[in-house]
Structure 1
């Protein structure tokens, strides 16, 4: 993979783009499989941690359990399975330190463009840094920058929002000095962010209304896993922390798979179970507020730890209004039915703006690459694009489960290149493969991203199934040479 470059241009074997949960995991897997590899992690922001450093709104937490969201090689030891954002950030930082990744991270280094040179068999990266723009060349790039824009959230079309006399806040840029105690707050949205914010704001003394256009299915789960508590009582000399973590991870993978498959095959039964869960936690009068008009898992299911949202609604500390927005007025939000929701603060929890590759443009010999017209290879590389990968996770399970499979495959591919003395590996599909959306779910952010996301087929290895159990077997020791041209 090494190649002679101009003296003034730095060359590395591998560039990992992004220093969040995925980027740190990728770096660990790459160096594990390739001792001595020369790599750097380029992070656009001024701190590592990605999502978990960016989002600072009240109550921010994961909506997946940490036993499947954490790294297999760095067990999650804390009590809470549904963890707070600050605890996840500490976990990422400690893992980066423990595995020597921190010293490879370059903060405030944003990759603007990546252009593959066939003649030199390198990626030429334009990188914005505190000292100006620089060029770096790399033998391989792995984009682990997430799936949304850190700079620009999704701007929903809310009529009259500019006329509001109070404060408008987007969760992605939460003001740390915002005091909501004793104030009226309307949270617009019904996704995981809104459902996290509402009970947290109520706990801070706000009078909270969640305004949703369409209900979402919600499931209450304990924040602490009873099995984890039982395993914690077993002395480490009898059962190591690594084995305890592996048991929890296996149990939760199986539970996620079973619940998803059951919901898809028996939607009416799943709907009844979800409604019963709401009835138990919030009361009969609130069941319809958390019953979506679509089948379970047509969109992502929201998890509320310990039923905190249900409790806030049940005890009158928050309320849910299902309606459209006619317009925003100086004093509040006028709904489609004519009610004025008087408020001091509007929180627009209306979603994210999907962005791939951290916003960097991709070219091959100067010609732009339209990612949306490319098939994925083993869920992480792209049709016709040499020596490049991106991390895309699951939508029906922890994002990181798929992320770790991708990182291990990328590490294996890099090793094959290095051991074989090859300079490039280009996935090339056989002719006649069908093309369909990569992530088939009816969520708004995925619909909006349809024109930028890559495609998949139904034939391996040009597909990505939403089934970790099946893919974990397939990706244990995959043949990196299948449908790949090496040079």
Structure 2
């Protein structure tokens, strides 16, 4: 058995990575670890996205860490405030010195004989190797270097400026310009009211509507409570109040989807002028819960539309023209600037190549184990969030569990843990997400899958996860522990050409 350079390597220094590192440092102080960050800065998503108005789409009392109070008056916070919060956490816990910046992980190879992960890492133009016993992936769920862009006829003919929000130019001046924002998700409904403050006019062009709801930008209860109580007491009260309130609303929604649909649409109609065509622009084709509901702070989107500073255009784009876009109904929109807020390219484990004992792993054939490990992949934990609640709620639970797992293995003398799935388990799958958002549907064929029964399921339920992860047994009968047993991948999980990988 080989002694690795690190006990744990964490991929990613964003909201998840910094939070997980803090758990590891405080709960498992004897573990040698480092954080590998592909960019030269902390922040992940909140460093990458820099478009005007960038903000959270859920409240920061649950999107913030359980261990660090969110003290900003804004519950739906801007990106800069969130980035500062992440940086503060890193500095307060002396984590910055644990980060290796400009380290992009390209592949991870597991050796049962050595009981280590060997990572190939791109740094300073060259590839270097790092080894660890455990790999924690906090790389998120999408490609940072590539946003999704549909193919439109005439796209190359457009003579104005084209921008994808994922790569916003720092020097872009949009004052006084006519702007088209293509998209209907959280990015589009954030950009439209923000750009409209300086633009000549903004048209938000969407193929079909999404559910949009106005939410207060500030949580008055939380702000009052902070004046009365110490922060360490006020924060958990607000956090739990929000968690229970959100869970109650979701339960009501699931019990009465049609009633929720009518309520959401009715609320939008009340926000807009009586003669506004909300039926065309704000009545989705799907039921609530099949995509994330877009929150707009203090109704800024509806106010912008009501004031005539922006317009909604719902329909298909026929083609781009030299001066704008032409819709299928013949409408032509002219613009100086077109912003393609058309979504993300979804990806698991940051896209890195995985090899186990010489066999390349087909990630699309992996089963999700309890929403944080994958079938037959040893000593690997990934951190992701909820689709129906704040991201960090799940990350906190998994970080706590991962530390319990490490301590359990240390006590028992184990060096390897594998969620063991057989051929029948791997063959009996469902889609990994019951979501119809475009970025999910486009990537479904290459993502890990759900099984038909627990534990091969990622439950979108905080209270279920809290029960099973914080109180459930580590040795649950599915996890197999050992000190070097070779991993046997089911044939379905071996990628084509893996014999060549092993030979090379």
User: Superposition RMSD on alpha carbons, in Å?
Assistant: 1.4
How far apart are 1:421 and its partner, in Å?
Answer: 2.0
Q: Is the 8 A contact 2:178 2:199 kept in 1?
A: no
When normalised by structure 1's length, the TM-score is 0.95
- C-alpha separation in 2, matches of 1:360 and 1:299: 27
Match for residue 380 of structure 1?
Answer: 372
Q: Contact between 2:179 and 2:199, CA under 8 Å: does it hold in 1?
A: no
* CA deviation profile, 1:380-402 (whole Å, cap 9, x unmatched): 11111110011121111111111
Query: Residues of 2 paired with 1:49 and 1:422: CA distance?
Result: 34
Q: Tell me, what secondary structure is at the counterpart of 1:136?
A: strand
Show the counterpart of 1:159.
153
- Contact 1:278–1:286, Cα closer than 8 Å, also in 2: no
Alpha carbons 2:370, 2:459 under 8 Å: kept: no
Structure 2's unaligned 5+ residue stretches are 483-504
Matches within 5 A, 1:32-431: 32-130=26-124, 132-234=126-228, 239-284=229-274, 285-288=276-279, 289-429=281-421
Q: Look up the match of 1:3.
A: 2
Q: Is 258-267 or 288-297 further displaced after alignment?
A: 258-267
After the TM superposition, which segments of 4 or more aligned residues of structure 1 sit over 6 Å from their partners?
A: none
- TM-fit CA distance, 1:416: 1.8
**Structure 1 stretch 185-194 or stretch 449-458: which is displaced more?**
449-458
Count of matched residue pairs: 477
Partner of 1:149: helix, strand, or coil?
A: strand
Q: Provide the rounded CA distance (Å) in 1 between the counterparts of 2:73 and 2:80.
A: 14
Tell me, in whole angstroms, the C-alpha distance in 1 between the residues paired with 2:423 and 2:447.
21
- When structure 1 is superposed on structure 2, of 143-152 and 473-482 the one drifting more is 473-482
Question: Which 5+ residue runs of structure 1 have no aligned equivalent?
Answer: 6-10
For the residue of structure 1 that corresponds to 2:9, the secondary structure is strand
Residue 406 of structure 1: how far off its partner (Å):
1.5
2:479 corresponds to which residue? 484
Moved more, 27-36 or 441-450: 27-36
Moved more, 412-421 or 84-93: 412-421
Report the CA distance shift for 1:259/1:159 in structure 2 as closer, same or farther (over 3 A): farther
Query: Which segment is superposed worse, 140-149 or 476-485?
Result: 476-485
Q: Answer yes or no: is the 8 Å Cα contact 1:376–1:462 preserved in 2.
A: yes
**Is 1:470 aligned to 2:461, yes or no?**
no
Q: Match of 1:8?
A: none
Matches of 1:156 and 1:312 in 2, distance apart?
27
TM-score, structure 2 length as denominator? 0.92
State the SS of the aligned residue for 1:454: coil
- Residue equivalent to 2:488: none
- Judge conservation of contact 1:139–1:387 (CA < 8 Å) in 2: yes
